[in-house]
Amino acid sequence: MKNLKTTARSTVAMRRWGPPGIVTLAAMVAFAALGPATAAKQTRQVAEQVAQREAGEPIMAIVSIKSQQVTFYDAEGWILRAPVSTGTTGRETPAGVFAIVEKDRDHRSTMYDDAWMPHMQRITWNGIALHGGPLPGYAASHGCVRMPFGFAENLFDKTNIGMRVIISPNDAAPADFSHPSLFVPKREAIAAVPSRADKLSYEADEATRASDEAKKAAAAAAKEAASLPASLRKLEQQKTRADAELAFADKTLANAKTDQARAKAEELKQKAAAKAADATTQLDAAKAAAQPKRDAVAATKEAAKVAATKKADAVKAATDAKLALEPVSVYISRATQKLYVRRNTHKPAPDGGGEVFDTSIEVPVTIRNPDQPLGTHIFTAMARNDTGLRWSVVTIDSGDDAKNALDRITIPQDVWDRIGPTALPRSSIIISDEPLSAETNYRTEFVAVLSHQPQGGFITRKPTAPPMDVASDDGWDNGGNGFGFFYQQRDPYVQPANPRRQRGQYQYFQSTQPMQRSWW
């Protein structure tokens, strides 16, 4: 990233990004009511700033709890900067790694008496967000990051779901970085992605139609065969009664004492024998007719099973191709010694709110000297360059330096071969001592919190409710589109993450049994 010199203009200059924000009457009243001490604090705040160049799409935001400031960056450097107000003592904004998971222009809090939180950009589902709000000049929120009203308004339409939000306990900024372990995309692989995605999507649609036809055939055969057991039972009962009547006639004939009685018994036997023979014929015929129907049920059921397998394979292949068009995010945890991969599917969550993130890769990694801290480093692909991608790094937790941290990790080559050739700008690799927060679920990118920093803003909120059960193999309500594979039930078993703060004042929870995932 270019080391652009920080420049500033008045907030009037923000018109290039949109209309200037309007300070509400409530905000003016609040500011007017500030006492002398608070006003003195406020005069030391950094003013809103805009870089003196054309702004690109924001790639990340870095919130400094120490400086009470947020800075947004595009591929070339910082573009916007403003003062903020983070969580107050006991309700501290958690430091860590987040991403925008939902946006609401006119949000009302369900947690704090319908409080107005305009231009809300959520980063956890348990209530941590960036939004417009009053700034007294110091940390004063209940855990959210308040931004100036006009700044939040102008920013709202510039960010996207999945944009990285880094909350640092100290001042942090991206620095240029290169390392052989970072993704090196291949132009030919990227160029082939759209046509491959179209081809595999068509094949998935065809496989889905074939599977649906096979399901219908199996259902029809099963329906036709459904009445067979009852019909056969009825014929078997008729044969049993006929055989019993024939046996009674035989007995009657054997016991006859007179010619007249024998004649009458003989006549009864002949009728019973004819009836028994007819019942046997009907039963045998029904059994013979039933066998092809049973065979059809077995055959169509097996055909439906084969078609469903082909459909699953085709849908997974199509999904893989679609996801190759998206930036990829990787998280490597020293705590779990695992590597996790996520991409945004851009499918709306079926239970409401946010979008679905693919969670299909979770594999072990080898970390040299695993008892030694790595720190927390966020490597981001800022833009394309002649060698593939230009990278930056942001470090928010001391441990090993960024280069050494990457050097210590042995990443499975098959994972890199799968996702590296089509890696795009805004892809990222996060290395941390921390496990993923229990707030990480199918509706989030990665959520990781620094366990040695105050987390009161997490503690005062209930954890996100467990998500829906695993969806069907072809999407919601059998709707298709290949994203049904991503839904997993969140693990209900959690344990304390061993926070480093004394007396256990702050805790957050981590999963003890990661959900089972398959490859794309």
| CATH code, domain carrying 54 | 2.40.440.10
Sequence-distant (6+) residues with CB within 8 A of 340 are: 330, 331, 332, 333, 359, 361, 362, 436, 446
The single-letter code of the amino acid at 444 is T
Sequence-distant (6+) residues with CB within 8 A of 415 are: 339, 341, 361, 363
Specify which residues 97 forms β-bridges with.
166, 448
Asked if 384 and 340 touch (Cβ cutoff 8 Å), the reply is no
End-to-end Cα, the chain, rounded Å: 33
- Give the distance from CA 173 to its chain's centroid: 28
| Shared domain check, 159 and 217 | no
| Shared domain check, 141 and 86 | yes
pLDDT in tens, the chain (520 residues): 434 333 333 333 333 333 333 333 333 334 334 433 343 344 345 688 999 999 999 999 999 999 999 999 999 999 999 999 999 999 999 999 999 999 988 766 666 655 677 999 999 988 899 999 999 999 999 899 999 999 999 999 999 999 999 999 999 999 999 999 999 999 898 899 899 999 999 999 999 999 999 999 999 888 888 887 888 788 888 889 888 988 888 888 888 888 888 888 888 888 888 888 888 888 788 778 778 888 888 999 999 999 999 999 999 888 888 888 899 999 999 999 999 999 999 999 887 778 999 988 999 999 999 999 999 999 999 999 988 999 999 999 989 999 999 999 998 999 999 899 999 999 999 999 999 999 999 999 999 999 999 988 877 777 665 543 333 333 333 333 333 333 333 333 233 333 333 333 333 333 333 333 322 2
Residue 212 belongs to what domain range? Answer: 195-315
pLDDT of amino acid 387: 84
Report residue 284: phi and psi, to 5°.
Answer: -65, -40
Q: How far is 354 from 344, CA to CA, in rounded Å? A: 11
The single-letter code of the amino acid at 434 is E
- Select from 281, 315, 349 the last residue of a domain: 315
Asked if 81 and 48 touch (Cβ cutoff 8 Å), the reply is yes
| Shared domain check, 219 and 100 | no
pLDDT of amino acid 238: 87
pTM over 0.85: no
Specify which residues 195 forms β-bridges with.
none
Q: Which two tokens stand for residue 9?
A: 């203009």
Confirm whether 160 is domain-assigned. yes
Confirm whether 218 is domain-assigned. yes
| Shared domain check, 170 and 228 | no
Count the neighbouring beta carbons within 10 Å of the beta carbon of residue 50: 24
Q: How far is 85 from 76, CA to CA, in rounded Å? A: 27
| Shared domain check, 250 and 172 | no
Q: How far is 166 from 7, CA to CA, in rounded Å? A: 22
| Shared domain check, 53 and 80 | yes
Q: How far is 340 from 419, CA to CA, in rounded Å? A: 12
Inter-CA distances, 496 with 156, 502, 508, Å: 35, 14, 6
Q: Which two tokens stand for residue 24?
A: 């509400």
Question: What SS3 class is residue 335?
Answer: coil
Smallest Cα–Cα separation from 520: which of 347, 329, 318? 318
Name the DSSP class of 505. Answer: -
| Shared domain check, 140 and 61 | yes
Confirm whether 469 is domain-assigned. no
| Shared domain check, 204 and 133 | no
- Select from 143, 177, 211 the last residue of a domain: 177
| Shared domain check, 170 and 202 | no
Count: domains in the chain? 2
Asked if 136 and 45 touch (Cβ cutoff 8 Å), the reply is no
Smallest Cα–Cα separation from 9: which of 64, 69, 54, 50? 50
Q: How far is 185 from 424, CA to CA, in rounded Å? A: 7
Confirm whether 97 is domain-assigned. yes
- Select from 269, 299, 315 the last residue of a domain: 315
Question: What SS3 class is residue 185?
Answer: coil
- What is 30-64 written as a DSSP string? HHHT--HHHHHHHHTSPPPEE-SS------EEEEE
Confirm whether 60 is domain-assigned. yes
pLDDT of amino acid 133: 92
Report residue 393: phi and psi, to 5°.
Answer: -135, 140
142 is catalytic: no
Smallest Cα–Cα separation from 62: which of 134, 148, 130? 130
Q: Which two tokens stand for residue 515?
A: 């959900």
| Shared domain check, 217 and 133 | no
Place of tokens 């005062």: 460
pLDDT of amino acid 256: 83
Catalytic-labelled residue, pool 107, 119, 142, 144: 144
What stretches of 171-258 show up as alpha helix (H) in DSSP?
A: 187-225, 228-254
452 is catalytic: no
Inter-CA distances, 414 with 137, 183, 351, 363, 421, Å: 50, 13, 34, 11, 12
Catalytic-labelled residue, pool 131, 179, 346, 377: 131
